[in-house]
Structure 1
């Protein structure tokens, strides 16, 4: 452990991370290595001496190309795009990245204590209530909208990639490993989790980014409210016949069915989801 800490400290010194100050603690985490830092990370305004946790994550690869130029891994580039601007708090933010010839050091904000949404759903022993799911879902949709505005297609929205602070209910979208640059053309490869892929992928091996995003949002919302997947096999996805295992409001069923429409042109846009009546419907607890 001490040798690992010396190694990380050495990296930090070599990269001259003046923003981060003194390394106090090092340990391994679920998503990345963690370091407890005293200082003002990446210019964020914090009280002097206030401790701030970050994730330190290392990517292996070959990043040198012709003319001694360094290429940025797509995942890092997507995180940089998604982290631009301060209007959305629903993204695990990239603070800094340092690119070498064979490794990339990624510094991300640490969001804890938290668990992923799938573990949270399972810990409840029953599906989430509509009001509870609504608070989570709204934050996820806002995060997806933020990504799109900044040219990022996340590509793998699902409960396992959604982190939630149980005490506050705050939610953040993580893991851009399956993502791509957002554009208006057809995508002919799919890197996300297949059970969240839209029917057009299975039928035609292509899809549009926003259509796929909305489909995965619909699957995620269904999973929160029903405690299971809406479709358990490819044939069911292609048929896209939604049945509900829990009693849900008409407005909620309408939103889910719209997101899971077989014809992608019949699905709402992410922006239209934000205007759906269910998100503003007050329900008794």
Structure 2
């Protein structure tokens, strides 16, 4: 899914670096907006699972923050989350030094992470 990207925006990490620091008022407003975004997501039954400065866009014209990149997202559930949001183990397996230790294509298709077909 592709959504709009404000014409003049920066992710929060670059926004802070470019200014070297944020005033308390600006930091509070951005934090409030992120909290509102998270509240909205959870009210819709969605868990982001990867909130970090790189996944928060700041519109330079309006100061509006947008939470982006729901690639690790999932639906909220009442039971414990048993799978990690990332597939680092699978990547490590693919990057094994010895070719015989690497997964086959069939191994990859059978990996539990690949079997999870729930999209956020």
Q: TM-score range by the shorter chain?
A: 0.5 to 0.7
Which structure is higher in RCO with an 8 Å CA cutoff and minimum separation 6? 2
Scaled by the length of structure 1, the TM-score of the pair is 0.29
- Using the TM superposition, give the Cα deviation of residue 168 of structure 1 relative to its aligned residue in structure 2, in angstroms: 1.3
Distance between the aligned counterparts of 2:84 and 2:16, measured in 1? 26
Q: Which residue of 1 aligns with 2:82?
A: 188
Q: Which residue of 2 aligns with 1:72?
A: none
Q: Which residue of 2 aligns with 1:121?
A: 16
Q: Which residue of 2 aligns with 1:141?
A: 35
Give per-residue Cα distances to partners, 1:211-257, cap 9 Å, x unaligned: xxxxxxxxxxxxxxxxxxxxxxxxxxxxxxxxxxxxxxxxxxxxxxx
Q: Which residue of 1 aligns with 2:7?
A: 112
Q: Which residue of 2 aligns with 1:163?
A: 57
Which of 24, 46, 51 lines up with 1:130 in the alignment?
Answer: 24
Q: Which residue of 2 aligns with 1:201?
A: none
Distance between the aligned counterparts of 1:153 and 1:107, measured in 2? 19
After superposition, the CA RMSD in angstroms is: 1.3
> Quick check: 1:172 aligned with 2:66?
yes
- Using the TM superposition, give the Cα deviation of residue 130 of structure 1 relative to its aligned residue in structure 2, in angstroms: 1.1
Q: Which residues of structure 2 form unaligned runs of 5+?
A: 87-120
Scaled by the length of structure 2, the TM-score of the pair is 0.66
Give per-residue Cα distances to partners, 1:57-107, cap 9 Å, x unaligned: xxxxxxxxxxxxxxxxxxxxxxxxxxxxxxxxxxxxxxxxxxxxxxxxx34
Matched residues, number: 86
Distance between the aligned counterparts of 2:13 and 2:30, measured in 1? 12
Distance between the aligned counterparts of 1:187 and 1:111, measured in 2? 34
Q: Which residues of structure 1 form unaligned runs of 5+?
A: 1-105, 193-285
State the structure with more CA Rg.
Answer: 1
Distance between the aligned counterparts of 1:139 and 1:107, measured in 2? 21
Call closer, same or farther: CA 1:107–1:177 in 2, change over 3 Å.
Answer: closer
Distance between the aligned counterparts of 2:62 and 2:39, measured in 1? 22
Equivalences for 1:192-203 in 2 at 5 Å?
A: none
Give per-residue Cα distances to partners, 1:125-182, cap 9 Å, x unaligned: 2x21211101101000000000000010001011100000122111100000011111
